[in-house]
Chain A
Amino acid sequence: MIDDKEIKDTKIDDEDVINHQWTTKLRRKAVGELPPQKLLPDSQPAYVSSWIYVFGVLTLSALGVVAISGGILAFFGPSWWQQSPEGHFINSLHLWSVELFFFFMVVHLWGKFFMAAWRGKRALTWITGAVAFLVSIGAAFTGYLSQQNFDSQWISTQGKDAMNSIGIGAFFNLMNFGQMFMWHILLLPLLVVIIVGVHILGVRVKGVVPPIGTFEDKQDYAKPWSGKVRPYDIIKEGVIALIVVSLLSVTLSVVFSSPNKAPLTIQRWAKADPVDFVTTAATELAGTSFSGSYGPPYNNGTGALQSIGPISLQKIAGVRIPINSAQDFVLQPLSTIPNNPTLKDALITYESATPSLQNTWNSSFAKADTKLAVIGNSISVPKGNYGPIPILMKNLLTMANTGGLDSDLENSHQFYGTDYTKPLLFMADGSYMATLAQQDHLTGDQWGMMNETDKWPGQPWLWLYTMWYQIPPMSTSSNADALVMSIMVLLTLGFASIPFIPGVRSIPEKIGLYKLIWRDFYKDQNASK
Chain B
Amino acid sequence: MLGVNVFSLIVGALINLSGPGSYIKWGFIQMSVANLILILLMLVVLALAMVIPFPHRPGGKK
Contacts and interface: CB of A to CB of B under 8 A. Distances in A.
A524 B14 contact: no
Interface residues of A, number: 58
Contact of A228 (B10, B37, B41, B58): B58
Given A227-B62, A454-B17, A457-B34, A111 B46 contact: yes
A327 interface: no
Contact of A450 (B31, B37, B59, B62): B31
A441 B21 contact: yes
B10 to A, nearest CB: 7
A49 B57 CA distance: 7
A130 B51 CA distance: 25
Interface string A249-270: 0000111110100000000000
Interface in B1-52: 4, 7-8, 10-15, 17-23, 28-35, 37-39, 41-42, 45-46, 48-52
Contacts of A439: 20
Contacts of B54: 49-51, 520
A457 B37 CA distance: 9
B18 to A, nearest CB: 5
Nearest to A521: B58
A460 interface: yes
A110 B43 CA distance: 10
Interface stretch (A32-40, A64-72, A86-94, A149-157): A86-94
A30 to B, nearest CB: 29
A43 B58 CA distance: 12
A517 B46 CA distance: 11
Contacts of A256: 13-15, 17
A303 B16 CA distance: 42
A344 to B, nearest CB: 47
Given A46-B59, A254-B14, A257-B12, A458 B32 contact: yes
A49 B14 contact: no
Nearest to A467: B29
A107 B46 contact: yes
A51 B50 contact: yes
A231 B62 CA distance: 12
B62 A229 contact: yes
B62 A103 contact: no
A463 B46 CA distance: 19
A253 B22 CA distance: 21
Given A47-B58, A454-B20, A88 B11 contact: yes
A258 B22 CA distance: 17
Contacts, number: 148
A226 B62 contact: yes
Contacts of A75: none
B59 A524 contact: yes
A99 interface: yes
A516 interface: yes
A259 B57 contact: no
A49 B60 CA distance: 12
B60 A450 contact: no
A465 interface: no
B35 A441 contact: no
A106 interface: yes
B12 to A, nearest CB: 7
A172 interface: no
A517 B47 CA distance: 10
B17 A230 contact: no
Nearest to B60: A230
Contacts of A46: 58-60
A490 interface: no
Contacts of A227: 62
Contacts of A467: 29
Contacts of A460: 31, 35, 38-39
Contacts of A329: none
Max count, chain A CB within 10 A of own CB: residue among B18, B19, B45, B49: B49
A456 interface: yes
A5 interface: no
Given A51-B49, A255-B15, A520-B54, A455 B21 contact: yes
Interface string A166-208: 0000000000000000000000000000000000000000000
A470 B25 CA distance: 13
A17 interface: no
A228 B50 contact: no
11 contacts: A51-B52, A103-B38, A228-B59, A254-B14, A256-B15, A454-B20, A455-B20, A457-B35, A458-B32, A470-B28, A520-B53
Given A46-B58, A110-B46, 9 more contacts: A92-B11, A106-B42, A107-B49, A228-B59, A228-B60, A259-B18, A452-B32, A455-B33, A455-B34
Pairs of residues from A and B, 7 with the lowest C-beta to C-beta distance, nearest first: A257-B13, A89-B11, A457-B34, A46-B58, A230-B60, A51-B49, A455-B17
